């Protein structure tokens, strides 16, 4: 037997493990840093090397990429077409196929591609890129691109390796930027899939994109006539052709009754479903969801390469990593820029001294190189304290390379302007480094402003059975409150019912001591003891609140009208002057100014000095302000209680007010 022979068992355990590791790391799973698989990274690197602003033939890019990617032209071409159809990192020209109809792209020799402005701004910077040798050692390629955007979450990713699979669903471009900003500001956020085909998605079981989660997708179907349905949007992973095939199959099985099916899909999806006489359209619509690909279910499995091994991370964790890495990369870019600016300032200052102080004339009689350097050093020595760093021999050599033409045309005024401009840029760069988080947030906002137009959400998030998910949950959940203990939620069914609510809603609660907080609705959540008012909080439609409170124990009565708009969850807000012992005497919520125009009766405590023991106050006499306003003085006398007058009395007061003003209708400012 040959001594060099390897047992089959040993070959399997060693070679198969190497093969599995290679497939996972180098083919199937994207890297967490730039969100790209190796083939995608190499394509983008090749596009950058050939980027001159013009379109390149895809066949040319495929050939250029093959010097970095050892898996053949077919894999490269398919990956490039896939990226081109997503319309984020590359711009395309020609027939690149249609994700709606399933039509494939034209041959690579007929279609063209170039990098988008977005990818040029976000994905590349050779100064912050780590390089490695290509597979044959002839070229260098990036280990990862310095991506400053969660590209894997925008593109989505799918790959089957050895022993594991990856499936990351695509998300909305603008929502990802908003979530990155929320991460930097340490605010809560949620991200859900958004698909280019549109449709309706139920992401209630998304599970942050991890294994075990599920997203249900439905086509958008309109009932245009009593006997005709039109499919306008289709689920992710299907095409108009495959959807029609599933409908025809269900029809053959007798599960759906369809008289005629017309696929008119071109730029937009349009599949017309004609029904036979006597068939109910609503019933057929439900059958389409039940028995065809008009409803599909997708199970995500977010997996990325991190620290040279696969890791199963939720999409929220991937996004947090991307946002923090963006901050780090921007910091590196600023530090590099600062070093370059300071180097320019140093040499420009050195050049200014060299020319204006005529040090160049000292070398006219020198006969050796050493003598030239010594004369320049001698001439510069009195001016060295003016510089920001030490002068090196390399600086002296650079001075000797200045051409006579530049010296003769040297303009001191322009030189001073250049130095002032450099100093201004240096100061600005240092400020940005000190406030790097704010700088990163501003950078993200700029990216959204420049590239976010036309990238609005296409897939509607909803619980199936309703078009709007929030409206569905409102019909199923009730908000309850325990005013004494200070808890509210939809699971407290033994307590006082307040209103219908959605599990996606926020709850706003006002306490008797004049404080307010906004919390996320839950089964049971603390909202503050001695609750005076609790309701669902809608940021888009702020209500008007009328409030009268006693400022401290035995203090004067204050009155205010206000709206609550921008708030932070869980933060406690004081709506009063903050005096100990403050107590709210009157509080009411109104949907409109007309509704808020009510008159209340303020009953004062008995006092021999008073003639009138009650004040009729009209809230319309006050301007509506923000929640932080302390209010105006209503009365300095002790108040017993505040009550709302009847509608008849209010009409009587209104009539009387036209003749004489209502008492205390213009309280003084505090």
**Catalytic residue numbers, as ranges:** 110
- What is the rounded distance in angstroms from the CA atom of residue 121 to the CA atom of residue 34? 14
DSSP 519: E
Task: Give how far Cα 312 sits from Cα of 165, 194, 315, 495, 554, Å.
Answer: 10, 21, 10, 42, 61
Burial 456-469 (b: 16+ CB within 10 A, else e): eeebbbbbbeeeeb
Token output for 247: 């409908």
DSSP 378: H
Element (H, E) at 37: none
CB 531 within 8 A of CB 544: no
Beta sheet of 56-57, edge-to-edge order: 56-57, 112-115, 90-93
CB 483 within 8 A of CB 521: no
DSSP 384: G
Question: Distance from CA of residue 42 to its chain's centroid?
Answer: 27
- What is the rounded distance in angstroms from the CA atom of residue 383 to the CA atom of residue 111? 61
CB 301 within 8 A of CB 212: no
Question: Which residue(s) pair with 228 in the sheet?
Answer: 225, 274
- What is the rounded distance in angstroms from the CA atom of residue 566 to the CA atom of residue 280? 47
- What is the rounded distance in angstroms from the CA atom of residue 443 to the CA atom of residue 326? 10
Task: Give how far Cα 3 sits from Cα of 7, 8, 207, Å.
Answer: 11, 14, 54
DSSP 383: G
Sequential DSSP letters for 90-122: EEEES----TTT-PPPPPTTT-EEEE-HHHHHH
CB 236 within 8 A of CB 220: no
Q: Is 212 exposed, middle or buried (0-12, 13-18, 19+ CB in 10 A)?
A: exposed
- What is the rounded distance in angstroms from the CA atom of residue 534 to the CA atom of residue 45? 56
Token output for 425: 């840029």
Rounded to the nearest 5 degrees, what angle is found at the Cα of 139, between the Cα atoms of 135 and 145? 85
- By DSSP bridging, strand 506-511 and strand 531-537 are antiparallel
- By DSSP bridging, strand 309-311 and strand 304-306 are antiparallel
Token output for 450: 């420049």
The backbone torsions φ and ψ at residue 326, rounded to the nearest 5 degrees and listed phi first, read -60, -45
- What is the rounded distance in angstroms from the CA atom of residue 27 to the CA atom of residue 432? 38
* Residue closest to 462 by CA, chosen among 161, 201, 172, 96: 201
Q: How many CB atoms lie within 10 A of CB 66?
A: 16
- What is the rounded distance in angstroms from the CA atom of residue 513 to the CA atom of residue 587? 12
Q: Which residues contact 2 (CB under 8 A, 6 or more apart)?
A: none
- By DSSP bridging, strand 140-144 and strand 130-133 are antiparallel
């Amino acid at each position: 037997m040959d001594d060099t022979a390897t047992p089959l068992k040993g070959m399997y355990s060693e070679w198969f493990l190497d093969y599995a590791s290679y497939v996972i790391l180098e083919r199937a799973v994207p890297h967490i840093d730039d969100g790209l698989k190796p083939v995608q990274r190499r394509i983008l690197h090749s596009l950058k090397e050939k980027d001159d602003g013009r379109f390149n033939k895809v066949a040319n890019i495929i050939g250029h990429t093959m010097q970095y990617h050892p898996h053949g032209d077919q894999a490269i071409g398919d990956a490039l077409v896939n990226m081109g159809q997503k319309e984020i990192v590359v711009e395309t020209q020609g027939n690149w196929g249609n994700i709606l109809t399933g039509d494939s792209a034209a041959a690579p020799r007929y279609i063209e591609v170039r990098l988008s402005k977005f990818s040029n701004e976000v994905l590349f910077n050779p100064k912050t890129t780590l390089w490695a040798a290509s597979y044959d050692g002839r070229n260098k390629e990036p280990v990862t691109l310095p991506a400053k955007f969660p590209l894997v979450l925008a593109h989505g990713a799918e790959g089957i390796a050895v022993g594991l699979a990856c499936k990351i669903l695509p998300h909305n471009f603008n929502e990802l930027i908003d979530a990155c900003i929320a991460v930097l500001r340490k605010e809560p956020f949620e991200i859900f899939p958004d698909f280019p085909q549109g449709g309706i998605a139920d992401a209630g079981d998304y599970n942050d994109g991890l294994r075990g989660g599920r997203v249900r997708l439905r086509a958008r179907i309109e009932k245009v006539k009593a006997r005709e349905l039109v499919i306008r949007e289709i689920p992710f992973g299907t095409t108009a052709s495959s959807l029609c095939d599933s409908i025809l199959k269900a029809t053959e099985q007798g599960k759906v009754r369809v008289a005629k099916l017309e696929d008119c899909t071109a730029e937009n999806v349009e599949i017309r479903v004609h029904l036979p006489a006597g068939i109910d359209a609503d019933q057929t619509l439900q059958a389409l969801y039940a028995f065809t690909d008009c409803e599909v279910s997708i199970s995500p499995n977010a997996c990325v390469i991190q620290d040279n091994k696969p890791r199963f991370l939720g999409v929220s964790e991937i996004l947090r990593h991307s946002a923090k890495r963006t901050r780090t990369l921007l910091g590196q870019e600023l530090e590099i820029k600062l070093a370059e600016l300071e180097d320019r300032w140093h040499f420009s200052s050195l050049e200014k001294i060299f020319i204006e102080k005529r040090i160049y004339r000292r070398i006219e009689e020198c006969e050796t190189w050493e003598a030239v350097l010594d004369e320049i050093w001698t001439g510069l020595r009195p001016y060295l304290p003016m510089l920001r760093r030490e002068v090196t021999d390399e600086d002296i050599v650079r001075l000797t390379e200045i051409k006579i033409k530049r010296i003769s045309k040297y303009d001191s005024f322009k030189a001073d302007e250049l130095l002032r401009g450099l100093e201004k840029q240096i100061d600005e760069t240092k400020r940005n480094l000190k406030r790097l988080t704010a700088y990163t947030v501003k950078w993200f906002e700029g990216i959204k402003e420049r590239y976010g137009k036309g990238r609005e959400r296409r897939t509607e998030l909803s619980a199936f059975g309703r078009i709007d998910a929030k409206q569905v949950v409102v019909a199923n959940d009730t908000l309850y409150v325990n005013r004494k203990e200070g808890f509210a939620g939809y699971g407290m069914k033994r307590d006082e019912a307040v209103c219908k609510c959605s599990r996606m809603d926020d709850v706003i609660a006002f306490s008797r001591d004049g404080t307010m907080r906004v919390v996320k609705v839950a089964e049971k959540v603390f909202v503050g003891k001695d609750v005076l008012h609790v309701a669902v909080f809608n940021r888009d439609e702020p209500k008007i609140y009328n409030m009268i409170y006693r400022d401290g124990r035995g203090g004067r009565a204050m009155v205010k009208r206000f709206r609550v708009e921008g708030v932070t969850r869980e933060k406690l807000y004081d709506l009063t002057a903050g005096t100990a012992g403050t107590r709210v005497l009157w509080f009411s919520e109104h949907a409109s100014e007309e509704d808020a125009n009510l008159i209340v009766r303020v009953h004062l405590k008995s006092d021999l000095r008073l003639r009138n023991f009650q004040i009729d106050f009209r809230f319309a006499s006050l301007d509506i302000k923000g929640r932080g306003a302390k209010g105006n003085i209503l009365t300095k006398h002790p108040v017993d209680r505040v009550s709302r007058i009847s509608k008849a009395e209010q009409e009587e007061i209104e009539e009387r007010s036209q003749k004489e003003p209502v008492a205390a209708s213009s309280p003084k400012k505090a």
